[in-house]
Structure 1
Amino acid sequence: MAIDKVRNYLKKWNADGRVLEFEVSSATVELAAQALHCEGKRIAKTLSFDLGDRCILIVTAGDAKIDNAKYKAKFGKKAKMLPAIEVEEKIGHAVGGVCPFAVNENISVFLDESLKRFDTVFPACGSSNSAIEVNMEELEEYSGACEWVDVCKDWAQAES
């Protein structure tokens, strides 16, 4: 099970005990926010993209949307999400539990600037009813992120 894979992966930072499991689904930003009793923008959603020759993950704030112009300027291609049917095989986690931890080899993880306005955020942990609270340094380290990017829109207006 993917959540077990993530727990095992997080052991190297002694963070496996921080994984939260819910009795309810946390498969969407809205459901995760309800399960965690927090604002949806603090949910760190992990989006899977197909660059043709490889797949990448971009972790964004729950209220952010991919800006196609910024994405194309950064990655040289139009944003094309992986079809849901391919996500688990190519990334290592099924839709609803996709996270930047314990992913398949050769998957590059990018973190969007929309996350930096929070002290902590909640990414999933490999299942549709899990999450972990991490700060930005932990998110960067645990995910093995390549870099921080600015490829989203709509979140700046939503800041409080």
Structure 2
Amino acid sequence: MLGTRDIEEYLRRKKIKGEIVYLKPGEAKTSISAARAMKCSLGQIAKNILLIGEKSRVLVITSGDKRVDLVKISRILGEKFRLATPSEVVEETGYSVGGVPPFGHKKEVRIIIDNSIKRFGFVYTSGGSEDTLMKIDVDELIRACNGELLDVSE
């Protein structure tokens, strides 16, 4: 299974400006606890959610204060989507649930970035494990994962 060291190496190799932040066990278990640990707004915690479609897989990055709207994303992308199971998350990304970063996955996956992220200059997102976050500039995040900006949250 992949982890934080893999993301650190990916950041170096791809020259991505992101900073890994190590937390105490459990501090990044939820978006709320991560925001508390980082002393930032809930919206500045970027969630990376893997969805499984009838024909494709997508990773949706959205603000911690938003929820992915499965009906909206299914309508926009033209196929029905559901949340991935924990085993599907590991199979597709190489990371366990709670540790999935926005890039550097085991398999290539389409990245959708919800417009809600653009409210911030920077966000904290998963750094490859349940106990790490990555601080990254929003424009750098969009560039690094070649994500498509869409309105897919509620």
TM-score relative to the length of structure 2? 0.89
| Residue pair 1:24, 1:35 contacting (<8 A) in 2 also | no
Are 2:17 and 2:136, in contact at CA under 8 Å, matched by a contact in 1? no
The structure with the largest strand share of the pair is 2
Q: For residue 14 of structure 1, report the CA deviation from its aligned partner.
A: 5.5
Contact 1:87 1:95 in 2 (8 A): yes
Q: State how far apart, in whole Å, the 2-side matches of 1:81 and 1:69 are.
A: 12
Aligned residue for 1:57?
A: 59
Q: How many residues align?
A: 151
- For structure 1, the residue ranges without an aligned partner over 5 or more in a row are 154-160
Unmatched 5+ stretches in structure 2? none
Is 2:23–2:132's contact at 8 Å kept on the other side of the alignment?
yes
Secondary structure in 2 aligned to 1:35?
Answer: helix
Provide the C-alpha distance between the structure 2 equivalents of 1:76 and 1:148, rounded to a whole number of angstroms.
16
Q: How does 1:87-106 map to 2 (within 5 A)?
A: 87-106=89-108
Q: Within 5 Å, which residues of 2 pair with 1:145-156?
A: 145=147, 147-153=148-154
Instruction: Please name the residue that 2:10 is paired with.
Output: 9
Q: Which amino acid aligns with 2:15?
A: W
Deviations 1:12-71 (A, max 9, x none): 32636x211112321320121122121211100000100133321000000111223321
Runs of 4+ in 1 over 4 A off after TM superposition: none
What is the root-mean-square deviation in Å for CA atoms of aligned residues?
A: 1.6
What's the counterpart of residue 81 of structure 2? 79
Q: Does the 8 Å contact 1:27/1:97 carry over to 2?
A: no
Task: Give matches, 1:96-135, under 5 Å.
Answer: 96-135=98-137
Q: Name which of 33, 36, 40 aligns with 1:34.
A: 36
CA distance in 2, matches of 1:3, 1:139: 17
Name the SS for the 1:57 alignment partner.
strand
CA distance, structure 2, for counterparts of residue 27 and residue 90 of structure 1: 21
Match of 1:21 in 2: 22
